[in-house]
Amino acid sequence: MQFFNLHTHKFTNQPDVLELVNQYPWEFDGTIPFYSIGIHPWFIVEERLESDFEILESKLQEPSCRAIGECGLDKRIEVPLELQQLVFEKQLLLAQKYQKPVVIHCVAAFQELIEIIKKLYITVPILIHGFSKSEQLAKQLLDNGFYISFGKYLLLNPELELVFKNMPNDRFFLETDTVEEGIEAVYGLAANYKKMTIEEMQKQVNKNFLEVFKIEL
C-alpha cells in the first residue's frame, strides 16, 4: 500500500490505498475489509444501545476490525453530555479489553476527553480525527499521548499549516473523512507543508501506522 487513509466514510477499494472505513453497528457492511466501528455521539439512540454494543463487541473480535470509532464527545448537539460520556467510556473500556486503537470525534470537549482517558487508565493509542484547532491544543493533546489526524480542514484552512508543520513526525496521520478529494491530495499538501517528498511522507505515515496498528502496510 502506498497511502493510508485513517478515517473515511466511503470505501473506494483502490489497490494502492488502505482505508480505515468508519462503520456503525446498526448499518454494518461485512464486505469492507479494514474498518473501525463505533457509536458516534450524534447517533446515540438509548433504545438501541444494548444491541449496538452487542454488535460492536462481536466485531471487535474480528481481524478486519482495526479500531473503535469514531466515538467521543460533542457539546454542540442535543444528546445529553452525561449520556455521551457513559457511551464513550464503555467504548474506551472495550478498546482496552480488545487492545484496539480509538478514533475520536471531539467537539468543544477536549478537557473532558483528556480527563476521561486519565480516569480510566486507557493505554491503547488514542487518535483525534479531523483536527482543526490551535497549536496550543495540539500540544496539550500530544503531551497527553494522543495522535492527531489531519485531512478535511488541512485542505480547507491554510491557518492549519503552522500547526501541522510543528507536529512531531511520529504522531500524525492523514485522512479524507467526508471530502471529495482523494487521500493523495492530502498527502501532497502534507508533504509540501513538511518539506518532504511524497515518498518520504508515505514512509513516515507507514512507520506511524506500524507503531499504532502493529501490522505492516
Residue numbers in the known binding site for a divalent metal cation are: 70, 105, 129, 177
CA dihedral 203, 190, 127, 163 (to 10 degrees): 130
Instruction: Measure the CA–CA gap between 88 and 72, rounded to whole angstroms.
Output: 6
Enumerate the known binding-site residues.
70, 105, 129, 177
Grid cell 488502505 in the structure block, residue: 18
Q: Give the span between the Cα atoms of 142 and 137, in whole angstroms.
A: 9
